[in-house]
Amino acid sequence: MTVSKIKRIAGYAALARDAHRLRSADQDHVRDRVRCHLVARMGRMRGLPQKLGQMLSFSDDHDDRNVDQYATLQRHAEPLAQEVVRPVIETAWGCPLEEVLSDIAPAAFAASLGQVHRATMRDGRVLAIKVQYPGIRDTVLADLKMLGWLGAPFGNLRQGFDLTAYRETILEDLERELDYECEAGQQRAFAEWAAYDQFLIVPSVIDHLSTANVLVTDWQVGDQWNDVCANWNDARKRSLANVMLQFFLTGVFQQRRMQADWHPGNFRFCAQGNNARLLLYDFGCVFEPSAQEQLGLARLIQATIDRSESPWPLFLQLGFSREFLEPLAGKLPALCRVLFEPFCCEYPYDVTEWNLAERVSDILGDDRWNFRIAGPARMVFLLRAFHGLAYYFGGLGTPVFWQKAFTSCVGGLSDDMANLQIPPEKAPKCDFDSMARYLKIRVVEDGRTKVELTQYASTIEHLDELLDEEVKGRINEQKIDLKQIVSDVRRQGYIPTSVFRLTEGARQIDVWLE
């Protein structure tokens, strides 16, 4: 075993130790100190540990302070010295740097598999030079062998979960990401897309200077994500939210080519007046859905909107495992209504009211790991992009009309969606008819109805906002726990049921789902 491999194993051991200390720390200042050590170690190790840290930087499982600490992995990688990367570039170009460049910045921008330098050609053209770390391929292969170690510290993996498909999927993706000629091809494809959709900006590839381990493009700049959140006005943020939704939907349902690594280091943001544009930097991790995946997902979302067909065979068509999915088949309608709630609303949707993680946890209960395991390994890239989209929307804080954008995007696929062959399936009761459509509130005094309100069933999530302060006071006096009631409704799958009844003398308040 080489010295470098021994050091790598020791690094993982220290990473696991820091992560264990982070989980077990019971004081904020201790957790902050341990997290700093953990982030610093991830940056030094590069490769998969740094990638994991970049993913954590936009995870809504962490508070804002924690996110800021992980975000340093996007801005401040520990760069290799220029005397280390210089021979890599000169070998790729077959000549000294001075024959091509008038200057190259010694500082490097963060990347997990390489680092990016700003440089100027002798003719004055400003470039971004992405240089792959020497030996990173062997390091990544060693990381993959320790993938179980990566899961244990962060609670992402469980005993009994067969990682084979995920290892193979991640390996295939990393093989592409380590091949800068492959990435250059993807960048050209995205540039063709950007030529039609002006909301995208894609730097041009400098072909004659790009090789398998050095990728050279035009230097393009824009605002960082933190700048957008702090300084952009509401109109620009609203424009950017619509741009990012259009980018996601067009990529999946029209281009069949989606940037699958949405951490903020891969994006910059530009504005002309109040019109936002999205500047893409990295094209190493790209999800390319098959026609079956594209149409199956579109049909699943449409079925959820229309309540038109059972989601069970559509999940199977998307590649979900029957063995793991069947025990929770009856929960799929409620799960879909929550996962795709933004698409179901006939108005601009505010993701800050989504409460996705808690609601999904309540619906699935002990089956949540069955659902994760049931999904096909390659779906992880689509889920990463979807999660990234929701993260940015949360930061922008502006409602977006998801359903209108989706309907417009998949309009040309309607015939293909209808003709998609879905094998007939016999499964447990699993359709949207089992779910309530409406939330009803009725106030009766002296036997006469004084008030009757009808809302969409999803407004049960905001039940406390529908009741006036006097009613909520009476509810508290009778020790009715509204939060627990809503949680129970989720666990039951939003089926028609009585929510609660409050009686005070001649006055009676009924709340139910039907």
pLDDT at 436: 94
State the pairing for strand pair 258-259/126-132: unpaired
Give the tokens for residue 252.
């999946």
Planar angle of CA 349, 350, 355, nearest 5 degrees? 115
* CB 376, CB 318: distance < 8 Å: yes
Q: Measuring CA to CA, which residue among 131, 90, 94 is closest to residue 214?
A: 131
Contact in structure between 43 and 71 (CB atoms under 8 Å): no
Find out whether 393 and 400 touch, Cβ atoms under 8 Å: yes
Q: Which helix (H) or strand (E) holds 218?
A: strand 214-218
Q: Which two tokens stand for residue 445?
A: 């005094």
Token pair of 59, please? 């995870």
What is the structure's pLDDT at 384? 84
CA dihedral 357, 363, 367, 369 (to 10 degrees): -10
Task: Show the tokens assigned to 261.
Answer: 């690594």
Tell me what pLDDT residue 377 has. 84
Q: In 10 A of CB 475, how many CB atoms?
A: 18
User: What pLDDT is recorded for position 102?
Assistant: 96
Domain positions in the chain are 3-75, 221-429, 436-513
Do residues 263 and 54 make contact, with C-beta atoms less than 8 angstroms apart?
yes
Please report, to the nearest 10 degrees, the dihedral formed by the alpha carbons of residues 464, 469, 474, 479 taken in order: 40
pLDDT (tens place) for every residue of the chain, 514 residues total: 454 554 554 555 555 555 544 444 444 544 454 445 445 544 454 545 555 544 444 444 444 444 444 455 444 456 778 888 899 999 999 999 999 999 999 887 766 678 899 999 999 999 999 998 887 777 666 666 655 444 443 344 444 455 567 667 777 887 888 899 999 999 999 999 999 999 999 999 999 999 999 999 999 999 999 999 999 999 999 999 999 999 999 999 999 999 988 888 889 999 999 999 999 999 988 999 999 999 999 999 999 999 989 999 999 999 998 888 988 999 999 999 999 999 999 999 999 989 998 999 999 998 888 888 888 888 888 988 998 899 899 999 999 999 999 999 999 999 999 999 887 766 667 889 889 999 999 989 888 998 888 999 999 998 888 888 888 888 888 888 889 999 999 999 999 999 988 888 888 889 999 9
Torsion angle of alpha carbons 164, 169, 170, 176, nearest 10°? 150
Residue length, the chain?
514
The backbone region for 89, taken as left when phi is positive above 0, alpha when psi lies in -120 to 50, beta otherwise, is alpha
Write down the pLDDT at residue 57. 47
- What CA–CA distance (Å, rounded) separates 304 from 456? 14
Round to whole Å and give the CA distance between 400 and 245: 8
Residue 265: what pLDDT?
83
Residue in the structure block whose two tokens are 């619509």:
242
